[in-house]
């Protein structure tokens, strides 16, 4: 099987179905790059529908990165009270803001290497930031992307980092930044590992 050809065949069908969706993911629609980064840190292991209104409340209270960097932990924790892993995320968000202000003069870095040392930022978030905020090539791999890529046979991998690297070999570079949104929207509608059931969703 030619995996490159197979990927394009499936992905184009998925993009036709989900490309026009207005569904808002946690990283979508923020006015500033730092807000995109903070909202993405908050979204780990949490639903987008839960994360977005909490992030909106955070940004109403702290209107600039400088204000957020000086936030008190109990105040941020109170805003995060209904967010999964709220204690860790409250600490990470404040620490991330402090690093951005002190080390990067309030500018969100544009390399994976710089981003992954920020508290709460792994490769998934780093790739999302370089693609969404800096228009660079990268593949953001979350649980949906990892699962679907393996079930559909794009890759055969054991973890998201391996999936990221293997997808780079399968998918043309111009598609990289779009993979996450399309497969996340698709993955939200299809659970499990039934390949036929997952593919049939594209026909509905």
Domain boundaries, the chain: 3-22+139-203, 33-132
pLDDT of residue 108: 98
Mean pLDDT of the chain: 97
Q: What is the average per-residue pLDDT within 170-183?
A: 97
CATH topology for 3-22+139-203?
A: Endonuclease Iii, domain 2 (1.10.1670)
The model's confidence at residue 193, banded by pLDDT at 50, 70 and 90, is very high
Q: Are 84 and 47 in contact (CB under 8 A)?
A: no
CATH number for region 33-132: 1.10.340.30
Catalytic site positions: 124
Q: Of 148, 145, 126, 149, which is closest to residue 137 (Cα–Cα)? A: 126
pLDDT at position 177, please? Answer: 97
Q: How confident is the model at residue 1 (pLDDT cuts 50, 70, 90)?
A: confident
Cβ distance 91 to 73 under 8 Å?
A: yes
Model's pTM, two decimal places?
0.95
State the pLDDT at residue 140: 98
Q: Is 126 a residue whose pLDDT tops 90?
A: yes
Output the DSSP codes for the chain.
--HHHHHHHHHHHHHHHHTT--PPPTTSS-SSHHHHHHHHHHHTTS-HHHHHHHHHHHHHH--SHHHHHT--HHHHHHHTTTSTTHHHHHHHHHHHHHHHHHHHTT----SHHHHTTSTT--HHHHHHHHHHTT--------HHHHHHHHHTTS---SSHHHHHHHHHHHS-GGGHHHHHHHHHHHHHH--SS-HHHHHHGGG-
141-168 average pLDDT score: 98
pLDDT > 70: percent of the chain: 100
The string of pLDDT tens digits covering residues 79-124 is 999 999 999 999 999 999 999 999 999 999 999 999 999 999 999 9
pLDDT in tens, 12-32: 999 999 999 999 999 999 999
Per-residue pLDDT at 66 exceeds 90? yes
**pLDDT score recorded for residue 120:** 98
Is the model's pLDDT at 3 over the cut of 80?
yes
Joined together, the tokens standing for residue 90 give 């409250």
């Amino acid at each position: 099987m030619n995996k490159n050809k197979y990927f394009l065949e499936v992905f184009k069908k998925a993009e036709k179905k989900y490309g026009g969706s207005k569904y808002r993911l946690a990283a979508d629609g923020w006015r500033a790059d730092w807000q995109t980064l903070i909202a993405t840190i908050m979204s780990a292991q949490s639903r987008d529908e839960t994360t977005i209104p909490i992030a909106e409340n955070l940004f109403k209270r702290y209107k600039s990165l400088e204000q957020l960097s000086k936030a008190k932990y109990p105040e941020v924790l109170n805003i995060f009270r209904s967010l999964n892993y709220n204690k860790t995320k409250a600490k990470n968000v404040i620490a991330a803001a402090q690093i951005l202000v002190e080390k990067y003069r309030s500018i969100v870095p544009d390399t994976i290497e710089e981003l992954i040392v920020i508290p709460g930022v792994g490769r998934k978030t780093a790739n999302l930031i370089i693609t969404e905020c800096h228009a660079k090539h990268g593949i953001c791999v979350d649980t949906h992307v990892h699962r679907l890529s393996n079930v559909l046979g794009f890759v055969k991998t054991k973890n998201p980092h391996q999936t990221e690297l293997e997808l780079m070999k399968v998918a043309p570079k111009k598609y990289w930044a779009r993979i996450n949104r399309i497969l996340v929207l698709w993955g939200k509608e299809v659970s499990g590992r039934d390949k036929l059931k997952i593919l049939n969703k594209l026909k509905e």
